Amino acid sequence: MTDHPPRAFEPRILGFLCNWCSYTGADLAGTARLRYPPNLRAVRVPCSGRVAPELILRAFDHGADGVLVLGCHIGECHYDNGNHRTAKRLPVVRALMSFAGLEPDRLRLDWVSASEGERFARIVEEFTETVRRLGPCTWRAGSPVVPAFASWSSVGAAPERPGGGG
Amino acid sequence: MVSVGRHPNIHLLAYSEVEAVSGYVGNFQVRVRRKARFIDEKQCTGCGKCAEVCPIEISNPFDLGLSTRKAAYRHTAQSVPNAYTIEKRGVAPCRDACPTDQRAQGYIALVRQERYADAYWAIRREHPFPSVCGRVCNHRCEDACSRGKVDEPVNIMGLKRFVSDWAYAHRDELPDLRDKSIVGTPFAHNPPPTGKKVAVIGAGPAGLTAALDLVRLGHNVTVFDSLTVAGGMMRVGIPPHRLPTDLLDWEIRQIVDEGVELRLKTRIDDVTGLLEQGYNAVLIATGAHSAKKLPISDANHPDNWLSLDLLRRVGSGERPDLSGKRVVVLGGGNVALDSARTTLRLGAKEVSMACLEPRGEMPGFTWEVGVAEREGVRLYPGRTFKEVIVRNNKVRGVRCVEVDFRGFKRGRPDLTEKPGTEHILPADLVIWAIGQGPDFSFLPPDGSINTLYPVGIQADSEMMTTMKGVFCAGDVRRGQTFFVVDAIGEGHHAARCIDRYVRGEKGLKEPQRSPVVDLTPQEIEAKFAREETSRRKRVSISSIPLEKRRGNFLEVDLALTEEEAQEEAERCLRCGVCSECLECLTACDRGAIHHEMADEIVDLTVGTIVLATGFQDFDPQRVAALGYGELENVISAMEFERLINASGPTGGKVLLRDGRPPKSVAVLHCVGSRDANYHDYCSRACCMYSLKISQLLHDYVGAEVHEIYRDMRCFGKGYEEFYNRTAQMGVRFYHGRVEKIERADGDGRLVVRWGEGFHGDPDHVVVDMVVLATGFEPRADTGKVAALFGVSRSRDGFFLERHPKLAPVETASEGIYIAGTCQGPKDIPDTVAQAGGAAAGALSLIDQGTIALEPSIAVVSSARCAGCGQCAAACPYSAITVAERRAEVNGYLCKGCGTCAAACPNKAVTLIHFDDTQIVAEMLGVLRLPEGLASREVAR
């Protein structure tokens, strides 16, 4: 690896995509052969309402430079109103992030319906650009700023659960 | 369709709307509103007699406005079920405003159809005195008339008078009333007798109305009156120049003919005695016949007349000679105006009117004040009267003072006299018309029938006085003079109350009423556009010239002529659609019509749902360049289909608007489809139906046909062959996008121009008719339906299937299937195939009898749960209950969204297959956590 010339910063972005709208929208972007940055690594969740604030912070904890949460448009949630919860939660998380010294723009919430492949691609592109401009996230697990999650570290620690590493 | 309608296992809920859906696959609760048809679906045989007699004609939406239909209608000739429906929007404002509940919209529509006898009976159902209210009413119906929102109200009173005058002129040839009988209602004639006796005191509008209603309900009714003539104030209060007595007498004779016993010249002084004589109930409707005077000096000189005395004498045929006399009428109400105009006709040299109220606030009709002044009455408003001046035992005048009048406070005038304004109005005769009240002298002296001074007789909401079995109605209850309609309205009400009382029923149930129609100006404009009403101005009543009005009692106002009545009836907006004229009720042999039918709520429990809600046509008016709506021979494909249909508006003939068959026709493809301005998608069916239209035009109309297409999309089995056949017939095809349709110079033909044609092809054709192949659109209410059933929509607005290839009839909601054009544009074979697929999908679920639940549901770790209830609050399905400080998940209701897991502050709720460890592990994987990798490398 050392033989390679130093590359420009490529952000690592974690995407939480709801199963019914955004994940299908991403699928559509794929079947429609749309291009979008490969920086996004998607995690499928049943609903954007499943995305607990802890999960978002965990992502930053473990090396994400940005987190993108995508759900169904308001009023179109497969679970009636799961996304209403998300819409209320995420601004709080952003406020917390800025309180803890992490740029709130590294977290973005948006809505993509199952038929909006183009919108999905555009949002990923925009967000990748935003995070690229912000630069690498300096906050990593083990840094002393996040004592709140210490008690939580038994969950998901990669070494004990090799299956999670793929 | 018929076999579907007759299938024992198919319950067809036509004319219904789904209001709410809840539950889940295998157990949906669907709430359906079955809209009231007003015709019993099971009784109706579809004979159509109701539609024959229905007078309401409106534009027929099924024929896209190319024909008209009645308010009682059948959707199409092939409707399943084969039953008629009555379209109602609500109660017309005119009917709502009338105290007698007069169905004005109904008789106006009957006038429009020249069915004057039917119109007369429609009026007489609620109103025994059409001639009176056609002349002297304050027509609150006209004040409420929707037409008043755009120009002037319909001349409803004029139309009523026209009908009553017509009926009087044709009184010998009117059909028998019994033909219009509706048994069991106040519209029954010759009903079975009940054996109950009712006495009515007073033969005025309230008394006679109640008497007639009671007779029609089967009771035995006797009406007593102390006067020599019947009719009360209508007869002895309204002078003949406003209401000719012969018409009124004829109407009263009809009441007597229906079985009311009338005893004139019989004053009743013993109300209790009537009850003892065997009458089951007594109605006091004696009116307000006592005129008042002010207690000023010489008010009792014999040349002080009471207005009511004068009017009573004139009404009874007397003509007192007033020639050469100067008359002062004191008062400013309608009675004062009647008295003043009457004295003019009796030859008075000079007639003045003086009253408390300033000009413009006089209680009399403003129009009549104007008429009285034009006839020669001098007006002295805004003064009070101090003294009647008598010299040598002759009245010389009335001493007046000008006042500032501020209205009445607690029944007393509130005024300030203006100092130094005293003056004398010279007069030989003073007529007092300052108000009248009821005469209570005949009531029992022991006060057992209580009166409310200074008002009328005390009565409860069911019109009963303080004596059991004695009712009162009309002016005697209110204690002052109101309008004839109010008295008639109270008469009806009293009759209902008495009927219930003598039958021993308790509690008055008012018939339920639909809401009052409130048309917006846009809706009225749409009615003009559909040609349901004319834009003509109101026809006003004309009067006889002023010089013919002295010395006689000729009726001043003239009736509308038949032409004028037709013109005026055409102006009615038919606000309520059905007017409840009840013509259909007498026409239906099966007794299937129930005008009081209400919407019915049906709750269904079903396992699966198939949505097949269809599409709507693209509105070609949105493409201005095509001139649809302006060029009369540019029609939509759907309009063409109605024209060529044998049961359509032209009986299967394709005709230009002027009635000629077209010699040449252009068919335009892709109207609203494949166009960035309207819809991006291809509507798929239009190419093929355009070819069909071309063949029909070629075969049945013999016209020269030109098709202007963008691309021919003949994609199905046998479709390309159909296209080739059409081309071989001689139909011409031009490739191009139509830019403009305009009128050709000179003749009324149409020039269709397009661009981007193939080399050598023309760029326009001149034709007689253009058919627009309009595309498909999602129905306007698709969003509402999608939300109701929890179905998503694709970008074009149609319902979204779960997967375009692998699950084309399923939706994201388990157990809900879609079929047909609600999913996207398609032709009939595709629709049928998809419907079969949806049915098979639904059937396979039914056949299994079980469903596979989502494996991914929430579970609660009772060890960690503190019972805070955050999860229950977050759950969209109420699947979590908290009992004894522990949350519990109902696995059948849980759909696995995981909102609860994210909400739990103690991580007690986990979502199977999406728990935190799994998501974090996936996260770590996709993020390729450096230190994780590092530690794993170390482990190796």
The alpha-carbon gap from B872 to the nearest alpha carbon of chain A, in Å, equals 13
B628 pairs with which residues across the strands?
Answer: B631
Torsion sign, CA atoms B760, B763, B768, B771: positive
With a cut of 80, say whether residue B940 has pLDDT above it.
no
The alpha-carbon gap from A134 to the nearest alpha carbon of chain B, in Å, equals 18
Which of B8-12, B477-481, B850-854 holds the top average pLDDT? B8-12
Q: Which of A50, A141, A164 is the closest to B902 by Cβ?
A: A50
The answer to whether A161 contacts B897, with C-beta atoms less than 8 Å apart, is no
- Report DSSP letters for B707-737, one per residue: EEES-----STTHHHHHHHHHHHT-EEEE-E
Cβ-Cβ contacts under 8 Å for B799 (sequence gap 6 or more): B611, B782, B786, B791, B792, B793, B811, B818, B822, B823
Q: How far is CA B110 from CA B63, B100, B207, B569, B570, in A?
A: 24, 19, 29, 9, 11
- The answer to whether the beta carbons of residues B387 and B427 sit under 8 Å apart is no
Positions of chain A with pLDDT lower than 70, given as ranges: 1-7, 140-166
Mean of pLDDT values over B108-112: 94
Q: Which of A20, A142, A164 is the closest to B924 by Cβ?
A: A164
Secondary structure of B354-366 in HEC code, one letter for each residue? EECCCCCCCCCCH
HSE of A86, CA atoms in CB hemisphere, 13 A:
34
Q: Which of B793, B927, B939 is the closest to A64 by Cβ?
A: B927
Q: Which of A62, A113, A155 is the closest to B916 by Cβ?
A: A155
CB pairs under 8 A between A and B: 144
Cβ-Cβ contacts under 8 Å for B332 (sequence gap 6 or more): B353, B355, B356, B357, B362, B363, B364, B381
Chain A neighbors of B927, CB-CB under 8 A: 12, 14, 41, 59, 62-64
The answer to whether A164 contacts B917, with C-beta atoms less than 8 Å apart, is yes
Mean of pLDDT values over B519-548: 89
Task: Give which of B910, B923, B931, B935 to mutate to test A binding, by max A Cβ within 10 Å.
Answer: B923
HSE of B739, CA atoms in CB hemisphere, 13 A:
8
| d(C-alpha A97, C-alpha A104), whole Å | 6
With a cut of 60, say whether residue B934 has pLDDT above it.
no
Task: Report the range of poorest mean pLDDT among A71-75, B139-143, B193-197.
Answer: A71-75
H/E segment holding residue B343: helix B334-345
Chain A neighbors of B902, CB-CB under 8 A: 49-53, 55, 85, 89
Report pLDDT for B177: 63
- How large is the ipTM? 0.83
Task: Give which of A19, A22, A51, A79 to mutate to test B binding, by max B Cβ within 10 Å.
Answer: A79
Summarize pLDDT for B145-187 with one digit per residue, the tens: 999 999 999 999 999 999 999 999 998 888 766 566 665 566 6
Mean of pLDDT values over B84-106: 93
Summarize pLDDT for B22-48 with one digit per residue, the tens: 888 888 999 999 999 999 988 999 999
| d(C-alpha B690, C-alpha B670), whole Å | 10
**Residue B628 DSSP SS3:** strand
Q: Which of A63, A79, A164 is the closest to B876 by Cβ?
A: A79
- Report DSSP letters for A26-95, one per residue: HHHHHHTT----TTEEEEEES-GGG--HHHHHHHHHTT-SEEEEEEPPTT--TTSSHHHHHHHHHHHHHH
- Report DSSP letters for B899-922, one per residue: HHHHH-TTS-EEETTS-HHHHHHH
| d(C-alpha B664, C-alpha B770), whole Å | 9
User: What's at B281, amino acid-wise?
Assistant: A
Q: Which residue of A has its CA nearest to B912?
A: A46
pLDDT class of B81 with cuts at 50, 70, 90: confident
Cβ-Cβ contacts under 8 Å for B792 (sequence gap 6 or more): A20, A21, A76, A78, A113, A114, B786, B799, B800, B811, B812
Which residues of B lie inside 8 Å of A (Cβ-Cβ)? Answer: 787, 790, 792-795, 800, 812-813, 856, 874, 876-877, 895-899, 901-903, 911, 914, 916-933, 935-936, 939
| d(C-alpha A35, C-alpha A43), whole Å | 19
The answer to whether B800 contacts A115, with C-beta atoms less than 8 Å apart, is yes
pTM of the predicted model, to two decimals?
A: 0.77
Task: Report the range of poorest mean pLDDT among B188-202, B333-347, B669-683, B731-745.
Answer: B188-202
Task: Give which of B791, B793, B857, B927 to mutate to test A binding, by max A Cβ within 10 Å.
Answer: B927
Chain A neighbors of B793, CB-CB under 8 A: 115
Q: Which of A50, A75, A163 is the closest to B899 by Cβ?
A: A50
The answer to whether B876 contacts A89, with C-beta atoms less than 8 Å apart, is no
The answer to whether A85 contacts B899, with C-beta atoms less than 8 Å apart, is yes
Chain B neighbors of A59, CB-CB under 8 A: 923, 927
Q: Which of B800, B902, B939 is the closest to A52 by Cβ?
A: B902
- Report DSSP letters for B580-597, one per residue: ---HHHHH-SS--B-TT-
Chain A neighbors of B916, CB-CB under 8 A: 52, 54-55, 155-156
Task: Report the range of poorest mean pLDDT among A87-101, B215-229, B539-553, B907-921.
Answer: B539-553
Task: Report the range of poorest mean pLDDT among A51-60, B128-137, B438-447, B707-716.
Answer: B438-447
Mean of pLDDT values over B203-225: 93
State how far Cα B827 lies from the chain centre: 39
Contacts 24+ apart (CB under 8 A), B721-730: B722/B688, B722/B691, B723/B691, B725/B695, B726/B691, B726/B694, B726/B695, B729/B694, B729/B695, B729/B698, B730/B698, B730/B705
Higher pLDDT, A159 or B345: B345
Chain B neighbors of A20, CB-CB under 8 A: 792, 812
The alpha-carbon gap from A38 to the nearest alpha carbon of chain B, in Å, equals 12
- The answer to whether the beta carbons of residues B577 and B88 sit under 8 Å apart is yes
The answer to whether B911 contacts A54, with C-beta atoms less than 8 Å apart, is no
Report pLDDT for B289: 87
The alpha-carbon gap from A96 to the nearest alpha carbon of chain B, in Å, equals 16
The alpha-carbon gap from A112 to the nearest alpha carbon of chain B, in Å, equals 12
- The answer to whether the beta carbons of residues B596 and B512 sit under 8 Å apart is yes
Task: Give which of B899, B928, B937 to mutate to test A binding, by max A Cβ within 10 Å.
Answer: B899
Summarize pLDDT for B304-329 with one digit per residue, the tens: 999 999 999 998 888 998 888 999 99
The answer to whether A78 contacts B812, with C-beta atoms less than 8 Å apart, is yes
The answer to whether A79 contacts B933, with C-beta atoms less than 8 Å apart, is no
Chain B neighbors of A85, CB-CB under 8 A: 874, 899, 902-903
Chain B neighbors of A89, CB-CB under 8 A: 902
**Residue B426 DSSP SS3:** strand
